[in-house]
Amino acid sequence: MLVTHRLNHGVMFNLVLTPEDKSWLTKEHPSLNVGGESDEIVISGSLKFDMVYERDSNRFIVSPVSYRGDGYRIKDQYEVKILLQPSNISELPQVFETASRITSFAKECNLPLYDFHVNGDGSVCLCVAGRDQEYFLNGFEFKLFVNQLVIPFFYAQTYYQKYRKWPWGEYAHGILGLFERYNEKPAVTKGEFEKILNRIQLVSGWAILAPKFRGENWIKGHTICLCGKNEKIRKCHSNALAGMRKLKNDLLKYRIKV
């Protein structure tokens, strides 16, 4: 039984699949298969999970053998593919749901895949970009990746399908989530700011926003939100708007042009 909280604070990591990881996969997830070359590992098959989320303590328990609490327990499975390679916006492996279950449910709800944290290329958004390293204390560990990010992501999908709401608080998808995250950060040094800015500039949606940060038609509260819901941003994603204003002020503070 693994008990973990939503976040750990960590450092940069390399993506590896060790012999111990392969042994753990065989034991805990025998319906997942490892394939591909050494520099292009693919894990695919049925991801079966049993997980409990306790709202009061904001923790989840994976594989609760003898759970006696009052958390929300879900047993389910999804067909997945995991590429042990980072994307251009995240240090994490790329994860795909391959049976279109999420896609079908999104259509049933008449909602865009964006709302279910699925990227345009079909990969899932496990956490807001720039926060991925906080889940690992001592570098990347595949077991923790599965238990802290992958299983909770699919748990949340099933939870939403059952109750039409997400089990825990969430950041917005894509670049709006980055701005929400930035709004929460305390004051940063110029070096830290430049790293954050570089990450933001890699995310889809920046091309639309960049002219605004150069002084062209700045975003106001009544501007229609970028998420596509046709609502004013101050009502739809007000924290993201606050993060944009903070970023704009820091650009001026450090005399950086985009």
Q: What is the mean pLDDT of residues 192-220?
A: 85
Contact criterion met (CB below 8 Å) for 199 and 129: yes
What pLDDT does 170 receive?
Answer: 66
Q: Provide the angle, in degrees to the nearest 10, between the axes of the packed helices 190-201 and 175-184.
A: 160
Residue 184 has pLDDT above 70, yes or no: yes
Non-local CB neighbours of 244 within 8 Å, separated by 6+ positions = 179, 209, 219
Q: How many CA atoms lie within 13 A of 149 on its CB side?
A: 25
Cα–chain center distance at 218: 28
pLDDT in tens, 207-256: 889 999 988 889 989 999 887 778 899 988 898 999 999 999 999 999 99
**CA–CA separation, 42 vs 32, rounded Å?**
10
Domain range annotation of the chain: 2-163, 175-253
- Report the distance separating Cα 174 and Cα 226, nearest Å: 10
Cα 74–chain centre separation: 20
pLDDT of 1: 46
Handedness of CA 9, 241, 129, 117 (dihedral sign): positive
pTM comes to 0.74
Residue-wise pLDDT for 123-161, tens only, equals: 998 876 556 667 777 788 999 999 999 999 999 999 999
Phi, psi of 189 (to 5 degrees): -75, 170
For the chain, how many residues are written?
258
Three-state SS at 148:
helix
